[in-house]
């Protein structure tokens, strides 16, 4: 089992917008893959960080998931509000085993 963790940093005053979009993204993930995508905020370190965390059977499953998400029109629509709500270039992806 591996975990995929994507973190983004919300612009000042925009954390609520990121969380609202995050809930929509989690719902799309559940519809497409049948599994939960956890969306959470940091309470230590940078308090403006939001993490998206999912568990998968392999790194290949993560690659497949990302490909399917990026091809999904509803996912593309859910990303649009994030453009004005997150710090450009502050996203980070990690894979944990």
Is-above-0.75 flag for pTM?
Answer: yes
10 forms beta bridges with 86
Contact 79, 21 (CB under 8 A): yes
Q: pLDDT (tens digit, 0 to 9) for every residue of the chain, 97 residues total?
A: 999 999 999 999 999 999 999 999 999 999 999 999 999 998 887 789 999 999 999 999 999 999 999 999 999 999 999 989 999 999 999 999 9
Delineate the domains of the chain, giving CATH numbers in brackets. Answer: 2-96 (3.30.70.100)
- Tell me what pLDDT residue 44 has: 80
Q: How many CA atoms lie within 13 Å of 16's alpha carbon, on the beta-carbon side?
A: 1
């Amino acid at each position: 089992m591996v975990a995929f963790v994507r973190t983004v940093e919300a612009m000042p005053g925009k954390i609520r917008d990121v969380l609202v979009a995050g809930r929509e993204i989690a719902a799309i993930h559940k519809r497409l893959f049948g599994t939960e995508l956890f969306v959470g905020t940091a309470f230590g370190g940078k308090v403006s960080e939001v993490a998206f965390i999912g568990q998968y059977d392999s790194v290949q499953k993560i690659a497949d998931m990302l490909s399917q998400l990026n091809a999904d029109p509803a996912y593309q629509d859910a990303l649009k509000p994030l453009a004005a709500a997150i710090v450009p270039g502050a996203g980070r992806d990690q894979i944990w085993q």
